[in-house]
Amino acid sequence: MVGIHEIERAAMRIGGVVVETPLIRAHRVSEWIGRDVFLKCENLQVTGSFKARGASNFVLSLAEKQAANTAVAGVVTASSGNHGQAVAYAAKRVGLPCTVVVPEDVIGVKEEAIRGYGAEVVRCGVTSSERIAYAERLALDKHLVFVPPYDDADIVAGQGTAGLEIMRSLPQVSEVFVPVGGGGLISGVSTAVKSLAVESSHATRVVGVEPELAKDTYLSIQAGHAVDIGPTSTIADGLRTSHPGSFTFPIVQRNVDEIALVSEKDIFAAMRFLFEAKLVVEPSGATSLAAVLKAHRDGYRFTGPVVCVLSGGNVSPEVFSGVLR
Ligand SMILES: *Cc1c(COP(=O)(O)O)cnc(C)c1O
């Protein structure tokens, strides 16, 4: 179970390891839709994404438990993306050895980023299930602890600290838009937002955002149970999960008011818009603003201040320049 107390404890724990990101008013969008729109800039978080929050909370909790009982030889995970960098960063900060399993065809700059945080990189297979199986075997053989990307209480509580910061800066917020992959970010953020909104007897809607090409959580909510959509091809690489997490999905079902869908074109347009606002945001991170722009275009009227969580900024120059063109 993750509640507001677990999220507050996570915020204390990771305070010195991650940063409080700025909440910036988006002037042009605000004028356009007639309501204040604020951007929660996790693209400016350490490691370039919110994933540093959950990974740091997981690794620091582990270090606390370790102090209390048995020794852990290190941590291991399976991700060439933002989670891999976040775990490598967090492990380095607490001085734990870290191994990251990446695909054989990993992009050079991603491998370099992970190595840059001092982690050992191991190449294995091309599918994520091959890599996870290998990482779990390494965990058993070498007494390492596997760090899951989203389906875990400490990860969710860490991601929730972004929601805590939003509610402390803007308690009157009426809607919060959050990108959804496996659901760790929105589970944490929605728990913080709903708990603190109730405390201030204020109703805040939480809207999850998925690409039309990867609408596994949207379909799962309609079906009433988790469904698997198989491999997906959206440019939003952080949202390509094929099914919601078993830990996160019930939290999403309970807390999330709506799942909005955006097209690839909507994502490109939002990235260009953010570039003009001097913000470099990766495709996954721009989906929240894409959904706000789309809702306005479709005639939806916002009733108060809106927050878009810009979940990350790790985009290669090749992809970014392609989008701008
Ligand atoms: C991982 C990630 C997401 C999705 O987060 P989940 O916790 O898997 O839902 C969204 N945006 C970015 C930039 C990410 O790295």
Please state the atom number of ligand 1 nearest to the C-alpha of residue 241. Answer: 8
**pLDDT class for 63, splitting at 50, 70, 90?**
confident
Is residue 311 among the annotated active site residues? yes
- For residue 170, report the distance from its CA to the centre of ligand 1, in Å: 23
CATH of domain 4-49+153-324: 3.40.50.1100
Smallest Cα–Cα separation from 145: which of 77, 247, 246? 77
- For residue 236, report the distance from its CA to the centre of ligand 1, in Å: 9
Whether the model clears a pTM of 0.75, i.e. scores above it, the answer is yes
Pocket of ligand 1 (CB under 6 A): 49, 51, 82, 150, 179-186, 238-239, 282, 284-285, 311-312
Would the CATH topology of 4-49+153-324 be identical to that of 52-147? yes
Q: Computed from CA positions of residues 6, 7, 8, 10, in that sequence, does the dihedral angle turn out positive or negative?
A: positive
pLDDT in tens, 287-313: 999 999 999 999 999 999 999 999 999
pLDDT in tens, 18-32: 999 999 999 999 999
Options 40, 49, 51, 110, the catalytic residue: 51
Say which residues have a Cβ less than 8 Å from residue 47's Cβ, sequence separation at least 6. 82, 85, 86, 89, 117
Q: What length does the chain have?
A: 325
Pocket test for ligand 1, best of 47, 51, 161 (most atoms within 8 A of CB): 51
- For residue 258, report the distance from its CA to the centre of ligand 1, in Å: 18
Considering only the top CATH level, what class is 52-147? alpha beta
Distance CA 238, CA 308 (A): 16
Tell me what the pLDDT averaged over the chain comes to.
95
**Domain-wise residue ranges, the chain:** 4-49+153-324, 52-147
pLDDT in tens, 246-277: 999 999 999 999 999 999 999 999 999 999 99
Residue nearest to atom 2 of ligand 1 (CA): 238
pLDDT for residue 70 is more than 90: no
Please state the atom number of ligand 1 nearest to the C-alpha of residue 313. Answer: 13
Residue nearest to atom 7 of ligand 1 (CA): 184
| Per-residue confidence (pLDDT) for residue 199, from 0 to 100 | 78
- For residue 67, report the distance from its CA to the centre of ligand 1, in Å: 30
Residue nearest to atom 4 of ligand 1 (CA): 181
Residue 100 dihedral angles phi and psi, to the nearest 5°: -120, 125
- pLDDT > 90: percent of the chain: 86
pLDDT in tens, 179-215: 999 999 999 999 999 999 877 777 899 999 999 999 9
pLDDT in tens, 205-233: 999 999 999 999 999 999 999 999 998 89
Smallest Cα–Cα separation from 148: which of 227, 61, 221, 208? 61
The residue-averaged pLDDT of 92-96 equals: 94
Options 49, 174, 190, 311, the catalytic residue: 311
**pLDDT class for 108, splitting at 50, 70, 90?**
confident
Distance CA 30, CA 6 (A): 33
pLDDT for residue 71 is more than 90: no
- For residue 241, report the distance from its CA to the centre of ligand 1, in Å: 9
The residue-averaged pLDDT of 146-167 equals: 97
Core vs surface per residue 124-155: b (16+ CB within 10 A) or e: bbeebeebbebbeebbeeeebbbbbbbbbbbb
The residue-averaged pLDDT of 100-109 equals: 87
pLDDT for residue 67 is more than 80: no
Residue nearest to atom 13 of ligand 1 (CA): 312
| Per-residue confidence (pLDDT) for residue 69, from 0 to 100 | 61
